Structure 1
Amino acid sequence: MMRKKLLVVGNGMAGVRSVEEIIKNNSDAFDITIFGKELHVNYNRILLSTVLQGDTTIEDIIINDQNWYEKNNIELFTNETVVKIDKEKKMIKTDQNREVGYDKLILATGSSPFMLPIPGAKKEGVIPFRTIEDCQKMIEYSKRYKKAVVIGGGLLGLEAARGLLNLGMTVHVVHLAPFLMERQLDETAAHLLQKELESQGMNFLLEKMTEEIIGDHHVQGLRFKDGTEIEAELVVMAVGVTPNIQLAKESGIETNRAIIVNDFLQTNIPDIYAVGECVEHRGMVYGLVKPLYEQGKVLAKSVCQNETEGYKGSVLSTQLKISGVDLFSVGQLNEDDTTKTIKVYDELEGIYKKIIFKGNKMIGAVMFGDTSDGSRILDMIIKQKDITDLENVQMFQPPNMTETQVEAMDSSNIICQCNSVSKGKIIEACQKNGITTIDEVKKCTKASGSCGSCKPLVQDLLNYIQSPDFDEVIEKIPFCGCTSLSEDEVVHQIQVQNLVSIEEVVKALDWKSESGCSTCRPALNYYLAMIYPTYVKKQDSLFLNENMNATLQSDGTFSVIPQMYGGVTDAKELRKIADVVEKYNIPSVTLTSGQRISLNGVKKEYLRDIWSDLDMRLCSRNEHTVQPVRTCMGENVCKCDKEVAIDLAIRIERSMEFIQTPNRVNMSISGCIHNGAEATTKDVGVVRIDRGWEIYVGGNSGRNVKAGNLLCVTENEEEVIKLISAFIQYYRETANYLETTGEWLDRIGLIHVREVLFDEELCIVLLTRLEMETSTQRKSLALKMI
């Protein structure tokens, strides 16, 4: 296939990350050309503040050097600006009169620093803080001058101010709002931050509006609207950015605050995409690195015509890159009638935590002084996890002074949010490759290579690994022979990368086999269906809908099993079945262990006619689902009344029909204490007793017989259905693929499961999610019948 021409306008972090993702998706699809208006190769703009603070060098923040461009056959033009797009001819023109054609065009034009339109703003010594050149100017000015003013008390302004302090300058931060970082912090956290920065030597002038920058040729000071003045020999403006949309506007591309894109990062012009700070998606313009990287992944799939659910927006988090300041902020901090808040403030230790909830879900948090739970909180917000009371308590306990933050973290906890690198992945890289430095970690795993806020945490982890206290060995069991990733890591990457098909998983996670294997394909089918309820999996059996399905046998024929809820049938159904057996010469009819009639040896060419003649709901036994519920009807153990057990079995079967589970779930219901259905050795078993019903879970009646655990005793059938349904849903959400209920209970504990099910709010959440799943299934089946 002939390679198409891909042209990228912008050599910054968002544009080049998109190119990296495109190469991952399909390295042979495009000949790639990149234009960048700066003189440099792609570098990490976010880490300029660390260069200014003296923690790193400009060489260290280079993301992709010249060799990378050459290795990937990318034509790079630096110090050259695209000034015109001819969308009819699919051609661009640069400020050097160069004309280049394209098949696909990506606009990654970024943004420009906003300079206050006030008198004196163009004087010498007034600069923004955006590029390598700006950083170098500030370093040079610090050698000649001593008095600096930073206008803007946001994230960038404070990091610039800390850098200027490190360079030996006296620094005042001027801020219009009554407290610092008002978009990311509440007032309490902002005051704690101000107090800490003042102790480091920073000065603040709050609620000050700059009216004029005074001086002759070079800046000498600032005059404020209230008439007061302050001396300054260097003024750094850090009051925000403006998306670069002029090129798009002049080319007829739809814009508002920024270039408007849909969920697939497409503009209103065919074959023209946009990504990064120049983009407006669903009314939001993002300036942090993590959202831009998330956009890049979706854009790459879209450009390569791979399946994707699209970009749905990002959860924003902030971590200040200033030594000695532990600050973390994420999500929504505004409180209203629909939210609830938990706050902890230890003034003595200088620790403040606030977490905001809507229902059982966390929607925002701010932490100062102890940010050890930041990664876990961010993960919970991104995944919209329901929070238990126990987790609430754990998050607000004081930090354990006997163990470090990284020591307390689980191996699956994310250290680097930008690149989704877990603690376990870093430990594994260190143990496998002998890694001992941050630079080696960055090179091997990409951790700390983007926004840099996790760098202290990575260093803490390295210190812990090299300490006598370290006793963790990552003995990772691979998901299958196609990958070195563990099952948990695969599932996590499916979620964070929004992978929506087996093909995407195989490509994005570098599977050794392009088609997967017999181990991973069914497991991936299961996890994709759990994460994306509308996912339609490929299967070996024939399943069109509830009235049209069959199970493939080893000899190439099929078996068809009419559904008989609770094992109950009547003369009309039996006559239908008998007529079909005779008409189509079906060679074998058997009773299954689930008390159903199975028609075996059916030829494929007769299937549609058999389905039509039967005109009955069918059940498939070749799936990991809740199997037909076995009852004690027909067992001549006793003369006890069993009708109520039959009715209960029918209700449970109807509510859980075709719901996927990690492994088969065998269920039985005994109508009396004589237990004719052997309910105590099933995954879920129910036994009627004098005072109600006993519910048993985690049993096994197979080769290795195992008695089930008594979950509880309940008074009525409604409570039985409620608890069993919640149990099945919790098993679906937390068990590994092919893990039986017994193995799952051994791993997480029966007491924990009881705590979850008996928590009324959590139980309702589980039931709601199960109902959403069954509703999706019913709609899917209905569509297939049309």
Structure 2
Amino acid sequence: MSAQAEQTLVICGHGMVAQRLLEKLVVQPQRPFERIVVFNGEASPAYNRIQLSALLAGDANEDSLQLQQPDWYRHNNITVNQGDPVTAINREDRTVTTASGQTQRYTSLVLATGSRSASLGLEGESLEGVMGFRDLKDTRQLIQTSQRHRRAVVIGGGFLGLEAAEGLRSRGMAVTVLHRGSHLLNRQLDETGGALLEQALTERGLSIRTQTSPVALIGRNLVRAVQLDDETLISTDLVVIAAGITPNTELAREAGLDCERAIRVNPQLQTSDPQIFALGECCQLENQTFGLVEPGYQQADVLAQVLCHSDSQAAFAPSTIPTRLKISGIPIFSCGQTDADAETESVIWQDYDTNRYCRLLIRDQRLTGAVLFGETSDGPWYNERIQQADDISPYRAHLAFGKHYCEAA
């Protein structure tokens, strides 16, 4: 058997990005790895994490989240070890050791260890009833808790926090959202868009407090209340922390790989060890980390080529990715700049009857940003204008009405 045929690729982690990598690897014309071995810290095979909010809300079932059937892995000679995460890397011997004591040699190693909910450093975070909303296990626990209790506090008014809050509300819980920013989704929406979202969610039954921070979680063994910075106490049976993520870098750090906020990689997703690669939420390219699935997919596409072709020129270049969300049925789209500065002008269109809102930011007759609320069908066209830096002068008066009006003009 040739040395090339004996090559083994080991992947640590089996989330959506790792699965994308597997699917890109198996269709490459050159497949240098005789074996691909995946060690998954979760008990379930790769699933669609984006649909966890639908599962929490009761709008999806677990079977619908599965990305591939077991036969697919067998057919492609991929061995997946469920619930057995890698706990140590021996770079000298090129082996990994797992929680169960398995030792596996590798030719190339990919770290796709993802991230976890960021700790806020609050007193009481270790109490029972305090949790994150990151994976299937969390979602199952939230569903069980909603069946026994009636009060919840969600810390974080970003997308994940609002999805958790809406899911718990739909299961009958009284939910309070705490957000330290001036408005909800402050990274994706401007102040008006955030206010419209708050109004819509409040009408659906959520209690929302912006510019508010918790200072402690109160309870003996179980969480019983959240203390706010104005000394208010909110009684609760459950606290969900959804205020950012922390990349899982412990495995890489203990192996001596170069890490900052996350595992440092070059544009070929290679770490400081030439045989080890990283991608997804656990990696960092220059000063940028990645919390969305789309750049992770782009990384997987590049890494599949790099792993299968020694002379590949494929390289990952971060790009501005538009945000397209739907919260409680309300479509939201944003791309580029979301708040005006001294050099930008704003074109604003708002329909109070239908609760639709559009804000476009312009600099030097070029579109630099778009915020859409309630109607987002023109979002991709606006994003294209931003990326191509078109001169909008010929149709500026029609810009807020979308693609068809502008093309007609």
TM bin, normalised by shorter chain, reads over 0.9
Query: Is 1:18 paired with 2:28?
Result: no
User: Please, which of 260, 263, 269 is the counterpart of residue 264 of structure 2?
Assistant: 260
Higher relative contact order (Cα pairs below 8 Å, separated by 6+ residues)? 2
Distance in 2 (CA, whole Å) between partners of 1:260 and 1:380 is 32
Matched to 1:29, the amino acid is: P
Measured after TM superposition, the shift of residue 33 of structure 1 is 0.7
Matches within 5 A, 1:515-554: none
Distance in 2 (CA, whole Å) between partners of 1:239 and 1:230 is 18
Measured after TM superposition, the shift of residue 323 of structure 1 is 3.2
Distance in 1 (CA, whole Å) between partners of 2:368 and 2:112 is 30
Q: Which residue of 1 aligns with 2:219?
A: 215
Structure 2 residue runs of 5 or longer lacking an equivalent are: none
- Percent of aligned pairs with the same amino acid: 36
Matched to 2:275, the amino acid is: D
Query: Is 1:242 paired with 2:246?
Result: yes
Matches within 5 A, 1:84-99: 84-99=88-103
User: Please, which of 301, 308, 314 is the counterpart of residue 304 of structure 1?
Assistant: 308
Distance in 2 (CA, whole Å) between partners of 1:192 and 1:308 is 46
- Distance change >3 Å, CA 67–CA 378, structure 1 → 2: farther
Matched to 1:95, the amino acid is: A
- Distance change >3 Å, CA 396–CA 26, structure 1 → 2: same
Q: Which residue of 1 aligns with 2:334?
A: 329
- Distance change >3 Å, CA 43–CA 120, structure 1 → 2: same
Distance in 2 (CA, whole Å) between partners of 1:195 and 1:121 is 30
Any conservation in 2 of the 1:159–1:320 contact (CA below 8 Å)?
no
Matched to 1:22, the amino acid is: L
Measured after TM superposition, the shift of residue 124 of structure 1 is 1.8
Any conservation in 1 of the 2:367–2:392 contact (CA below 8 Å)?
no
Distance in 2 (CA, whole Å) between partners of 1:226 and 1:190 is 23
Any conservation in 1 of the 2:115–2:247 contact (CA below 8 Å)?
yes
Structure 1 residue runs of 5 or longer lacking an equivalent are: 400-407, 410-747, 756-786
Q: Which residue of 1 aligns with 2:36?
A: 32
Q: Which residue of 2 aligns with 1:7?
A: 10
Distance in 2 (CA, whole Å) between partners of 1:56 and 1:177 is 31
Q: Which residue of 2 aligns with 1:101?
A: 105
- Distance change >3 Å, CA 28–CA 324, structure 1 → 2: closer
- Distance change >3 Å, CA 231–CA 40, structure 1 → 2: same
Q: Which residue of 1 aligns with 2:141?
A: 137
Q: Which residue of 1 aligns with 2:318?
A: 313
Distance in 1 (CA, whole Å) between partners of 2:196 and 2:57 is 22
Matched to 2:319, the amino acid is: S
Distance in 1 (CA, whole Å) between partners of 2:265 and 2:13 is 17
- Distance change >3 Å, CA 269–CA 165, structure 1 → 2: same
Q: The residue matched to 2:327 in structure 1 has which SS?
A: coil
Deviation per CA, 1:598-618: give whole Å up to 9, x if none. xxxxxxxxxxxxxxxxxxxxx
Measured after TM superposition, the shift of residue 90 of structure 1 is 1.3
Q: Which residue of 1 aligns with 2:187?
A: 183
Matched to 1:368, the amino acid is: F
Distance in 2 (CA, whole Å) between partners of 1:379 and 1:308 is 26
Q: The residue matched to 1:230 in structure 2 has which SS?
A: strand
Any conservation in 1 of the 2:218–2:225 contact (CA below 8 Å)?
yes
Of residues 167-176 and 385-394 in structure 1, the stretch that sits farther from structure 2 once superposed is: 385-394
Query: Is 1:166 paired with 2:170?
Result: yes
Measured after TM superposition, the shift of residue 307 of structure 1 is 3.4
- Distance change >3 Å, CA 359–CA 259, structure 1 → 2: farther
RMSD between superposed Cα atoms in Å: 2.2
The number of equivalent residue pairs is: 403
- Distance change >3 Å, CA 392–CA 93, structure 1 → 2: farther
Query: Is 1:43 paired with 2:72?
Result: no
Higher helix share: 1
Q: Which residue of 2 aligns with 1:368?
A: 373
When normalised by structure 2's length, the TM-score is: 0.92
Deviation per CA, 1:84-142: give whole Å up to 9, x if none. 11112211111222111111111111001123222221222111111111111111111
Distance in 1 (CA, whole Å) between partners of 2:43 and 2:182 is 39
- Distance change >3 Å, CA 193–CA 245, structure 1 → 2: same
Deviation per CA, 1:523-543: give whole Å up to 9, x if none. xxxxxxxxxxxxxxxxxxxxx
Deviation per CA, 1:755-784: give whole Å up to 9, x if none. 9xxxxxxxxxxxxxxxxxxxxxxxxxxxxx
Q: Which residue of 2 aligns with 1:121?
A: 125
Distance in 2 (CA, whole Å) between partners of 1:187 and 1:173 is 17
- Distance change >3 Å, CA 230–CA 276, structure 1 → 2: same
User: Please, which of 61, 64, 69 is the counterpart of residue 65 of structure 1?
Assistant: 69
Q: Which residue of 1 aligns with 2:277?
A: 273
Deviation per CA, 1:737-764: give whole Å up to 9, x if none. xxxxxxxxxxx9xxx9xx9xxxxxxxxx
When normalised by structure 1's length, the TM-score is: 0.49
Q: The residue matched to 1:321 in structure 2 has which SS?
A: strand
Distance in 1 (CA, whole Å) between partners of 2:335 and 2:45 is 31
Distance in 1 (CA, whole Å) between partners of 2:265 and 2:96 is 20
Any conservation in 2 of the 1:44–1:62 contact (CA below 8 Å)?
yes
Larger radius of gyration: 1
Q: The residue matched to 1:157 in structure 2 has which SS?
A: helix
Q: Which residue of 1 aligns with 2:295?
A: 291
Matched to 1:21, the amino acid is: K
Distance in 1 (CA, whole Å) between partners of 2:232 and 2:78 is 54
Measured after TM superposition, the shift of residue 367 of structure 1 is 0.6
User: Please, which of 110, 113, 116 is the counterpart of residue 114 of structure 2?
Assistant: 110
Measured after TM superposition, the shift of residue 398 of structure 1 is 7.7
